[in-house]
Structure 1
């Protein structure tokens, strides 16, 4: 009987404790929906959710209140998005189910880019794509259209950047293997993860080499002419995404694995890059795997906080002036009509090296929470401590149920013995 009472007490305590933690957290969590007057629409590429984040991809346009104006959900994943002058949208994508598979078994996955018309019955008005071995770490994350009419593309599958015409003719390429020591077949491994390219003018390109923790400047005909983070120091950059060239010697970067946004400046005396400005949280919520940051014309910064499933606009001091959330993981966002520009307001032009604390968290629980958050639309305020409370609560439920069942079996055995 004592085990029975103890078991029920554990079950009640577990349920009550979990309910109290959830209710208190939900009641005290700051809202992540912040509307702003006179904000023009924001275009967002949604990578998706589920295992590998390759389900429920979409392109969405949201207004100043965060309400969806339209959405196109016809690919497993969308990535970089760019609004074009005629109202269409250019977007990097990945999708499965193709039968044109080249060396791979059909059906297969294609990656590349599309031009989408949100007002058309069939929104795909143009597509350039090719088959890849796997949908993981082989995607086209970035594309932009040059004044020549060519498209500039980053290619994680073959670890290169290239330009291609509308009829599919590749007119120029830079292969990372010309600078980095390459494996025999880059398509068989996630080698460098070249995930972004921006044209800087004068035949120069800013390239994000994610797995090397480096940004390189490639000049057509010359190759790599400059490197940010030559020592591959993860304290400066750790698997970054979507750098924006603000000015000579100033770059804004989503420092993804460090869970922060940083503005890097180059030291005039020794040529070393350092963190001149950084941000690790917004509206009371720490960033989790941010993958895009754009310096806007108004001087604010638009941030895509991927695993928190939100896009936020912040001032230089970190105050949130606009924010909205999504059901699945966003990859990149741009404010219309300006888009992502080359050149922008520089923060702290005379500042020294800014020290930012390392991201906190409980390593095992942080990884587990990331997996859960990616696959399911859980509230933004759920943290490692909530996950720990759930695990402890489940343990108490199992333990309490075991005591109750054990006590009942003992009573049944005693009744049988007394016959």
Structure 2
């Protein structure tokens, strides 16, 4: 009788312990879900002109392109209100002002073709275009276009005007840089990356091998008439001469030398007349923007900037006022950093690709080098030190930062690209905690079911007796 009572009490105690654990697990999952749900209600959107947030005032117009979930081009007036908005194309990339027409821009864009038809017998395909848009009238003109056979790595991320009839194009599809006469549509010069780089390096060939994501025609100084190009997957910025080809001694970076730069975007060349030769570049996978100065036949890092929010920057332009205009894609913002390293202007954006401050010249042609301006570097760690709160501990933020530090940067960036824009470190932490809690709960429930059914597991080797 006593033995039965003890067994009943043990079962009751076991059930009470199980129920307490179930309640605890449920509370953790519900709280985690509440954190994610609350973040989703504060979602940033640029899916329509009405959703685009206003920007702080500036002295000039600012144009921002997006190439993520929503392809958009938005122009802000100096008072910060939206002057122009277009989401006709699937993706928008590099944008430049048109000389002599203050409110007209030229940009590259891509349309994805999903349905089978005369221009795409095996979808998806891509239509790559160079377009010119009048921001005040809304009129859009196609300057040059080409159909390409694939969507993934099937885009032109940049084109730079050489003169009234010729542009140089960064062709990701064929891993080439070419100059085309837009009036005759004849390609008059072409450089193929395979002529100087082995296909065993870079990305997977033929899928997305070189990923040439930027070109710039240099108009001033020692490199006048040359072309600068960014080979993202080779981690290198190269300089091309239309007679000599690759100028190897001028190459910035080396493949897999990630401490120099890691899958960079949108380098901006500064000539000698403004303190160069120098290159401002978005060091994307390292989560920073930086500048390199040319001295004694080599490149030396002369400036870098990052903060604890920066995540996959893809554009950096030095402005004539000494500030730097930065596009932080997974930080969901475009910002202007002053000479002291402080953010003095910022506008939220879902997945911005590039930003251009008009009335300052192509790629902000009046900006001077960091060395000439005496800019001081700032790192994310320094940003944390300045803005840290010793008493306000954020556990979810801490776990989120821990996840970010553990995961390789490319994987973390891939997760950010695949998830909604409102998911940040805290939301990642909440999702991870909920998943781990759910798995633990499911494992315990399975164990309890087996135990109630009288199933026991013993190690194949065990010790009998004891000292």
Question: Does the alignment reach a TM-score above 0.5?
Answer: yes
Looking at structure 2, the residues matched to 219 and 199 of structure 1 have their Cα atoms a distance apart, in angstroms, of 11
Q: Which residue of structure 1 aligns with residue 109 of structure 2?
A: 93
Spell out, residue by residue over 1:313-369, the C-alpha distance to the aligned partner (whole angstroms, 9 max, x if none).
Answer: 001332000001113x11111001224144621113498997968998334386565
Number of aligned positions between the proteins: 387
Secondary structure of the equivalent of 1:170? Answer: strand
Aligned equivalents of 1:391, 1:230: Cα separation in 2: 36
Report the counterpart of residue 276 of structure 1 in structure 2.
302
Please give the alpha-carbon distance, in whole angstroms, between the structure 2 residues aligned to 1:366 and 1:154.
26
The corresponding residue for 2:260 is 236
SS of 2:330's equivalent in the other structure is helix
Please give the residue correspondences for 1:12-411 in structure 2 after superposition, counting only pairs within 5 Å. Answer: 12-16=27-31, 19=34, 36-49=56-69, 56-64=70-78, 66-84=80-98, 85-86=100-101, 87-97=103-113, 99=117, 101=119, 105=122, 108-118=125-135, 123-167=139-183, 168-182=185-199, 188-201=206-219, 202-225=224-247, 226-229=249-252, 231-232=254-255, 233-247=257-271, 248-268=276-296, 271-281=297-307, 285-327=308-350, 329-338=351-360, 339-342=362-365, 344-349=367-372, 361-364=404-407, 369-379=412-422, 382-383=424-425, 386-397=427-438, 399=440
Judge conservation of contact 1:101–1:107 (CA < 8 Å) in 2.
Answer: no
Contact 1:88 1:115 in 2 (8 A): yes
Distance 2:263 2:238 in 1: 14
Between Structure 1 and Structure 2, which shows a larger proportion of strand residues?
1
Residues 203/280 of structure 1: CA separation in 2 closer, same or farther (3 Å cut): same
Counterpart selection for 1:8 from 10, 18, 23: 23
Over 3 Å counting, the alpha-carbon distance change for 1:396 and 1:23 in structure 2 is: same
CA distance in 2, matches of 1:76, 1:330: 14
**How many Å separate the matches in 2 of 1:88 and 1:346?**
27
Q: Structure 1: state its 5+ residue gaps.
A: 28-32, 50-55, 412-419
Relative contact order, CA 8 A, sep 6+: which one is greater? 1
Alpha-carbon distance in structure 2 between the residues aligned to 1:392 and 1:246? 47
- The answer for the alignment partner of 1:414 in structure 2 is none
Which range moved further: 39-48 or 4-13?
A: 4-13
The whole-number CA distance in structure 1 between the counterparts of 2:410 and 2:89 is 26
- State the 1:242 CA deviation: 0.8
Cα distance in 1 for partners of 2:345, 2:318 equals 14
1:369–1:387 CA contact under 8 A, matched in 2: no
Rg comparison, structure with higher value: 2
Please report the TM-score for the alignment, with normalisation by the length of structure 2. Answer: 0.72
Contact 1:244 1:342 survives alignment (8 Å): no
Post-superposition shift, 1:89? 2.6
CA contact (8 A) 2:104 2:132 kept: yes
Structure 2 gaps of 5+ residues are 1-14, 43-52, 382-400, 453-467
Report the CA distance between 1:391 and its aligned residue.
1.7
Change (3 A) 1:357 1:312: closer
Residue 69 of structure 1 deviates from its aligned partner by 2.6
CA RMSD of aligned residues (A): 3.7
Instruction: Indicate if the aligned counterparts of 1:34 and 1:323 stay in contact, CA closer than 8 A.
Output: no
CA positional deviation for 1:219:
1.5
Contact map agreement 1:244 1:251 (CA 8 A) in 2: yes
Q: TM-score, normalised by structure 1?
A: 0.79
